[in-house]
Structure 1
Amino acid sequence: MSEYDAYKPGKLRLKGEKSKSKKRKHKSKHQSEEKPQIDSDSIKHGNWWKISKIEDITGAVAIEFGSHVYVKALDNGLFTLGAPHNEGEGPSPEEILTGVYISERKVAFKSGYDKYLRVDKSGIVTGRSDAIGPMEQWELVLEDGKMALLGWNECFVSADDEDSIIAKSKRAGSEQFLTIRSHTFKEVNNLKDVPEEEQANLKQIEINYVKKFQKFQDKRLRLCSEAKKDLKKAKQDGYLHEALLDRRSKMKADRYCK
């Protein structure tokens, strides 16, 4: 087990914070019968969905710069940009933070080493604090669909030329724009109603079902070589399973094919 995995998140030490009970909202019969919408952006990021409001910054979150590149915690209390991930992958364990919603303007973040993030006097983002104080609080700035994080020093978070995470710019530009992703409320995207095999692009969906129903003992994939353009229409019209079965039957690769 790595040093990172040895740390276990503890209780928050923010004084004066009161837990808020959440009222359950009952869906109407009409709502429950609606066809679930698949969040393609979330699927491309391993089912980590894009946060658009500050109250969603709670639980497991990751800070993304660019595309599929996340802020990574180091064992010395500093942060850097991790290696780019492939499409369909989520962040690595060292890239997962715990978000803490404080108020309508403020949040805090805790690393996997059980330390809170702050900006030091030289503008370097560190994770060495044991509790949340004024310097561990961050302001989420949202404007025109863009997102940035403002530290206590009135500077925005970004990465420098060496990929170290800093907060030194008084203005937010392209280098300061980021995305915060969450893995906490997966049901927001209605993915709980979507079969696991279908939480991917069409190519991967077909592979998933071939693996599930193939009858060959050698377990080698037999995929239909015909174009997949008809699958997109089949998915939109609600007969994707029939279309996939038809393609598998042409390869004699399904246990249910005659």
Structure 2
Amino acid sequence: MEYREARSKKLSFKGEAKCAGQGANSSNSDASAKRKSKKRHRESKDEVSHGAAGWVPVESLDDLEGPISLYHRDEQLYIIATPSKEAQVDLNEQAPALYVVGNASLMESEPLSAEQVFAARRSVPMAGPADAEAAMFSLKSFAGTYLSADRHGRVSCASAAIGALEMWSPVLLPDRGDGAVAFMIHPPGLSEGRFLSADTGNTAAESSQGGMAKSTQPARLHASGTSIGYSQVFFAKCQAAIKQKRFQSIQGGRPRSAVGHGMPDIGNAKLAGKDSESLLDRREKAKSDRYCK
């Protein structure tokens, strides 16, 4: 009897499909557990992102890494945008311009199309803190081209690669307002940098609900300013959710480490000539590895 009971239990392997009617309760239980686990994961993500919707002013250079929108405030509020794909094809126009944001304050304004967003990144990610390139950023448009300026002050967005004309140095201006920043570029052949500038006048094209009008000429951008004045002040906003995630990845002002408290100090161990042993000790405490026991 005991033999028959033992024999009736078929061996099962990982990945093997179960026959219909066998282990139904177990399958249902596993599926239910998976659904509950996914639900808890979604709820935890919702808790993390709660209150982190929309676009907020940048507060540091780190906030400039990722999607950003750029504004200029004069008698009206403007947003920088690149021409639509239709305008680029029909008019061969690739220069970004300033468009009036209709009936919205700076704090309430958000980009409403891909043309109004730039993907910002550090131009030389591997540059050290002491290198000048470490604080330089490149602004990529929705079309995959980069914002650039030449030595004559002409601003365009046609370059498909990052060079000296596409590397901007942001200067945060917290005394000018939330998210206030100026962008300086160093074109080869000039002894000093030039600042991105807004030439609004009275020619800006008013947008419809934040979009871009086609019937009038928008205000233009240039990079001829040699100092920071009213026309050189822009306001940058980033996505709140990305900013919050970046903030949560920082602990005590320093990036979180995979290793915990009490790990060996590699720098001191290297000076003492015991870096190899210290690395093994660090690996043993950081993970379960039977080869370093």
> Given the two structures, how large is their TM-score scaled by the length of structure 1?
0.51
Aligned pair 1:72/2:128, yes or no? Answer: no
2:186 to 141, 152, 161: 152
User: Following TM superposition, by how much is the alpha carbon of 1:144 offset from its aligned partner in structure 2, in angstroms?
Assistant: 4.8
Unaligned runs of at least 5 residues, structure 1: 1-35, 191-258
Preserved contact between residue 106 and residue 137 of structure 1 (Cα < 8 Å): yes
Whole-Å separation in 2 of the counterparts to 1:62 and 1:166: 18
Does 1:167 pair with 2:229? no
Distance 1:169 1:58, change over 3 A: same
How many corresponding residue pairs? 150
Q: Is structure 2 residue 144 aligned with structure 1 residue 114?
A: yes
Superposition TM-score, scaled by structure 2 size:
0.46
Is 1:119–1:126's contact at 8 Å kept on the other side of the alignment? Answer: yes
Identify which range, 100-109 or 122-131, moves more after superposition.
Answer: 100-109
* Residue identity opposite 1:156 in structure 2: F
Q: Does 1:97 align with 2:118?
A: yes
CA distance in 2, matches of 1:82, 1:149: 19
* CA shift for structure 1 position 189: 9.3
Aligned ranges 1:127-146 → 2 under 5 Å: 127-146=157-176
Work out the CA distance in 1 between the residues paired with 2:240 and 2:164: 26
RMSD: 2.9
The secondary structure found in structure 2 opposite 1:114 is coil
Deviation readout 1:122-154 (Å, 9 max, x if unpaired)? 212100111111111000112453421101231
Of 147-156 and 164-173, the range deviating more from structure 2: 147-156
Give percent identity, aligned residues only: 20
- Please show how residues 19-58 of structure 1 align to structure 2 within 5 Å: 47-58=54-65
Per-residue deviation at 1:89?
4.1
What secondary structure sits across from 2:230 in the alignment?
coil
Query: For the residues of structure 1 that align with 2:232 and 2:158, how far apart are their CA atoms?
Result: 23
Q: Distance in 1 between matches of 2:239 and 2:81?
A: 16
Larger Rg: 1 or 2? 2
Q: What 5-or-longer segments of structure 2 have no aligned partner?
A: 1-48, 124-132, 188-192, 204-218, 247-293
Kept after mapping to 2: 8 A contact 1:59/1:184: no
Report the 3-state secondary structure (helix = DSSP H, G, I; strand = E; otherwise coil) of the residue aligned with 1:69: strand
Q: Which residue of 2 aligns with 1:86?
A: 103
- The equivalences for 1:169-188 within 5 A come to 169-183=225-239, 185-186=241-242, 188=244
Whichever residue aligns with residue 90 of structure 1, its letter is E
Please say if residues 63 and 243 of structure 2, whose CA atoms lie closer than 8 Å, have aligned partners that are also in contact.
no
Alpha carbons of 1:59 and 1:142: their partners in 2 closer, same or farther (altered >3 Å)?
A: closer
CA distance in 1, matches of 2:138, 2:230: 23
* Aligned position for 1:30: none
